[in-house]
Amino acid sequence: MSDVSFPQTVLNKSEGVNRSEQFLNKLADKTFLSLWSYPSLYNDKGVTVCKQTGAKKGEGKELCDLLVIFDNTILIFSVKEYQFQQDKDIAQSWIRWYRGAIAGAAKQIYGAERWLEKFPQRIYLDKATKTPFPYPLPSQGNAIVHRIVVAFGASEAHKQYCCDATDGNLAINTAIKGDMHVTKDSLMPFVIGDIDESKGFIHIFNEDSLDAIMSTLNTTPDFIKYLSDKEKFLRGNNVVAKDEKDILSYYLLSYDERINEHCFPNVRHNKVVFDNDIWDEFCKRPERIRQLEANEISYFWDGLIEAFIKPVTTGTAYQMSHPTIAEQEFPFRIMVKENRTMRRTLSKNLIGLIEHHKKFCEGHTILRPSTRMMYSPNTGVCYLFQVLQCNDFYETYEIYRERKQMVLNGYLHVAKLKLPDAQQLIGIGIEINAIRGGGSEDFAYLDASQWNDADIEYATKLEKCLIDMGFIGERNARVESVFEYPLDTLH
């Protein structure tokens, strides 16, 4: 590991204690990426501070099993692994498991939510409460909270009790509310409704259903939108489904063309019953298979974000424009806002530019970078991709890196001239190292929301300079259509 140059940004997070927590953390890192998901956070409820010395005594209390903070959205996860103990009385067995797994997890979530509202400055990454949470939470009036319970331990019992529960996932019936889950006259074993109508809605998943959802909606914006839409749908209707995955399948197959987004049905009747086993049918559809194949390239974007984040969270960055993670986080968050389909397009174009530059450099010493501008209608961001070869023309590698970063920043200002309406611009520089092999990545961010005449004059001079150096030539613009479910080009 490289030497730590910026210890103030080093981020030490918990890996999870038991199997269920480790399972959740692994999914979270893939979907939310490491800078926005935090396992096993603590409050300082059990800690006292000596007035004379300032020394702390005692340990913090676990706040929740996983906390995700992204923009103004907070996701609170609680995981409970509670084994279902089968008695002759299935109702009594269900009541015991529900109280231990679901009600217990819901209590932790509501408690964590209250703490976040009252004491947002008293959250820590460690039980000793020495490492504060690295950046501010959204303000109470602006925060959107999603609550997720992950309940382990009942899948096998459910399969035995109900022969068509092939995955052991809990069924859904929103007519069951509150104490009806544990009242013998109204309860339905292995069926979940609305935990507490008087409080915020809680999503209930088990291992299989959470894996399916977070593996399918595996970007932060896609996952959060599903939770928001599902909450509104379930609280606005009496919904019956054998499996959470059937609800997910319907959502993925339904589209509102007016807003170009997935949606749930806008029903006039109060009761909606989903067909069984839609999920299996969905997974076998040709368009779904084509989508998965097309999405493979999109994970390049995820890896690129993590490549930018890692030097910050390990304190090993080559340069540091801001001294804290809180100040570093925002530009990377913009990249995370791109959904899976847009990440596919961005990755395809960046990889294509890299391959183009490699071919252009074959057998030659090329000093001019290859560049490509892309506008994302998804986020309104302008991306500037730059690929530059490192070779023995530069006296040292440090000089090369400084030159590459300088040119990338200059290109961003020129890009603003070409796209005057762009408010946010991100530059991504990729090195092709002909000397050492491998390469490095550079990141630049330009906030152009307050762009003025002086900025325009400066960018115009930069443009002329880059043209004189032969770094900018003619550019061709094109419009590219991207479909979430790629068309079958053979028909």
In this model, does residue 490 exceed pLDDT 50? no
Dist CA 268 CA 165 (whole Å):
30
pLDDT of 435 over the 70 cut: no
215 within 8 A of 248, measured Cβ to Cβ: no
Q: Which residues contact 327 (CB under 8 A, 6 or more apart)?
A: none
Q: Give the residue-averaged pLDDT of 304-314.
A: 88
Q: Which residue type is seen at 352?
A: G
pLDDT at 17: 66
Whether 427 and 386 have beta carbons less than 8 Å apart is answered as yes
Q: Alpha helix (H) ranges present in 86-146?
A: 90-97, 104-118
pLDDT at position 393 over 70:
no
Mean pLDDT of the 5-23 span: 77
Between the two ends of the chain, the Cα-to-Cα distance in Å is: 51
pTM for the model stands at: 0.91
- Both tokens assigned to 385: 């991709």
For residue 145, the tally of other CB atoms under 10 A from its CB is 17
Asked if pLDDT for residue 436 goes beyond 50, the answer is no
pLDDT, averaged across the chain = 88
State mean pLDDT over 72-83: 94
Pairing of strands 424-433, 441-447: antiparallel
- Determine the Cα–Cα distance for residues 235 and 200; give it in Å rounded to an integer: 10
Tell me the average pLDDT across 14-28: 80
* Cα separation, 377 vs 300, whole angstroms: 20
